[in-house]
Amino acid sequence: MKLVLDACIGLKWVLPEDDSVQAIALRDDYRSEIHELIAPDTFPPEVAHALTRAERKGTITQQNGAKNFMQLLANLPQIHQSLPLLPRAYELSSQYRIGVFDCLYIALAERELCQVVTVDQRMLTLFPAETVSLASL
């Protein structure tokens, strides 16, 4: 199954959070080619930002942050350019009053005729046809 991977799920691959077990299972299915995972090119910077924020909060050390980021880079989903997605993402962001970065994932899912796997309740509520909960996989 082809899925757009939300950055919040990728972060769960390297930081212990709620649903990390399910996220890691999804990653392992991707490695085994059970699922095809794709994401906009904003995915790596979004996860890097979340990791450095965890460092600043003292949740992880800088050394662990760097190690986790390299681990994530070794398992990246297939990356798609965000620029062609941006007009649709802008339209969705304006219409639904949600961040453009989140809307890039929705725009990619629309274009690729698949769903975004996420734990973001707002995305799940606003875009029920374009999203799927990690817990439901």
pLDDT by 10s per residue, the chain, length 137 = 999 999 999 999 999 988 999 999 999 999 999 999 999 999 999 999 999 999 999 999 999 999 999 999 999 999 999 999 999 999 999 999 999 999 999 999 999 999 999 999 999 999 999 999 999 99
CATH of the domain at 8: 3.40.50.1010
Number of domains in the chain: 1
Secondary structure (DSSP) of 57-80: HTSS-HHHHHHHHHHHHTTPPEEE
Domain extent at residue 70: 2-136
- Please name which of 98, 80, 77 lies closest in space to residue 89, comparing C-alpha atoms: 98
pTM of the model: 0.95
